[in-house]
Amino acid sequence: MKALNSKPDAFRRSRGFSRYETAFDEHKETALKPSESHRSFHYQSRLVWDAGRRASALVGGKPVVPVSSPPEFKGDPVCWSPEDMLVAAADACLLMTFLAYSQREELELVKYESSADGALEFADGRYRFTEVILRPSLTFRTEDDAEIARMVLEEAHRDCIITNSITAVVKLEPEISVATAP
């Protein structure tokens, strides 16, 4: 049995869990509550049509991104498609949210890589993403950090802005490990 003062136990207690609980209790979630300090944010972009099914996506001060329809819809296969961007956005949002939360918990992340798969299907009379599967692979320095990371990753998945903004089901299939000593 672990000591009561271990890092995972402290994490659970900070979230309102007893030392015997091992999974999040939906009634004790720590989601952000609306308050006067929460603001709304706006993001702008521009598209300039180049030719055919190609355009340039412009966001102030950032590199230009050539965009096109996906090859399945007669687009240029060397360009990012909106479909690529949506799947990558869900994947990147999970990472950025996880990094913010893991920094708060002072987790020692050694490595993070991920892949994502989005299913675009003809459903309800139109094409739409029906499912996105995120497969992050994380490595930590200690078992305690790896244990906390599982809970923090679930929290990040629940709070991810992009995931919460799309209608597709977003599934999380993580692999979490501990670095071996050299």
Residue 34 lies in a domain: no
| Through-space distance between the first and last CA atoms of the chain, rounded to whole angstroms | 28
85: containing domain: 81-182
Q: Which of 53, 80, 107 is the last residue of a domain?
A: 80
Domain count, the chain: 2
Q: According to DSSP H, which parts of the chain are helical?
A: 7-14, 82-104, 143-159, 161-165
Distance CA(6)–CA(119), nearest Å, equals 41
> Do 94 and 182 belong together in one domain?
yes
CATH of the domain at 86: 3.30.300.20
> Do 85 and 75 belong together in one domain?
no
- Beta pairing class for 169-172 and 126-140: parallel
> Do 72 and 97 belong together in one domain?
no
- Tokens 């687009």 belong to 75
> Do 117 and 158 belong together in one domain?
yes
Taking the model in full, what pTM does it have?
Answer: 0.81
Short-list 168, 159, 169, 180, CA closest to 33: 159
Residues 58-106 pLDDT 10s: 999 999 999 999 999 999 999 999 999 999 999 999 999 999 999 999 9
The token pair at 131 is 């499912």
> Do 107 and 145 belong together in one domain?
yes
What pLDDT tens digit does each residue of the chain (182 aa) get? 344 456 666 665 566 544 334 433 443 444 455 555 678 999 999 999 999 999 999 999 999 999 999 999 999 999 999 999 999 999 999 999 999 999 999 999 999 999 999 999 998 899 999 999 999 999 999 999 999 999 999 999 999 999 999 999 999 999 999 998 76
Q: Give me the sign of the Cα torsion angle 143, 144, 146, 150.
A: positive
Q: Which of 80, 108, 126 is the last residue of a domain?
A: 80
Residue 122 lies in a domain: yes
Q: How many CB atoms lie within 10 A of CB 72?
A: 11
